[in-house]
Amino acid sequence: MKIGFIGLGIMGRPMAKNLVKAGHELVVFDFNKEAVADLVSCGAKAAESGKELAGQVEVVITMVPNSPHVRSAVLGKDGVAEGAKEGLVLIDMSSIDPTESKAISAECEKYGIQMLDAPVSGGEPKAIDGTLSVMVGGKKELFDKYYDMLMVMAGSVVYVGEIGSGNVAKLANQIIVAANIAAVSEAFTFAKKAGTDPQLVYQAIRGGLAGSTVMDAKVPMILARNFKPGFRIDLHIKDLNNALNAAHAVSSPVPLTGQLMEIMQGLKADGHEKEDHSSIVKYYEKIANTTVE
């Protein structure tokens, strides 16, 4: 399959590489020339713009930071829409506001472009090994057509519903992940402050009801003081902002999400926004005057 890929960041670059490894023809575009050169060295072809890229492929994947970047890449000057042929399919794998997914899809229809929103969960490690979780919104027949291609990058690809539903699922995921990391951070800060070895507490509770994928991924990082980003605080702030906006649009109260946003804003104020979201523990360490290690 001939695929265009726009957005070769922490997540996009390994995702694109997995598509090349699977034998797909890839045309790539990113403002980061080093990232583009890396993909070209793996067998991809470079384009100078989204417009140029769109004219060469049957499907375009976008993997960019937020709603305005998707809108710019697709509908802006020299964007995908300017170079699209009738019947082009856009699969936006960015994590954005679901109301914007619907709006961008409606604009794309004017150019004969069909769209799926297909955000991912799993962070950089799962992007590298091709085991991301992908949640997809849009027409079911499009989902069925591109399912196998998406599975090249994923461990699971699930159809959620109409356009925008993928991002609703992703925002629900991000609320749960942030709340889970915060609960873990609060609990292990308490254990440390109480004079109990947090490593032994982890071993004692990870097999019970409190155990979770988040705990197993983040507690070892916290104990090793390894905050190299798999998923950055500033990106989680972006997702929680989208969650708050989308929830308020449908009158769904999200009080925990609001509190989590304030915790992350505090971390940003302290200069931790480029660190992994496991740095939430630093908020608790600061107010408890201790270090979990």
112: left (phi over 0), alpha (psi -120 to 50) or beta: left
3-state SS, 58-72, equals CEEEECCCCHHHHHH
The owner of tokens 């740095």 is 279
Strands (DSSP E) contained in the chain are 2-6, 25-29, 45-46, 59-62, 89-92, 114-117, 120-121, 132-137, 154-161
**170 given a catalytic annotation:** yes
The answer to whether the beta carbons of residues 82 and 24 sit under 8 Å apart is no
Catalytic hit among 51, 126, 170, 238: 170
CA 75, 78, 83: angle at the middle one, nearest 5?
A: 80
Choose among 20, 57, 22: nearest CA to 42: 20
Q: Which residues contact 83 (CB under 8 A, 6 or more apart)?
A: 49, 50, 51, 52, 53, 54, 55
Phi, psi at 26, each rounded to 5°: -115, 135
Dist. CA 83–CA 277, nearest whole Å = 38
Among 129, 119, 68, CA closest to 94: 119
Catalytic residue ranges: 170
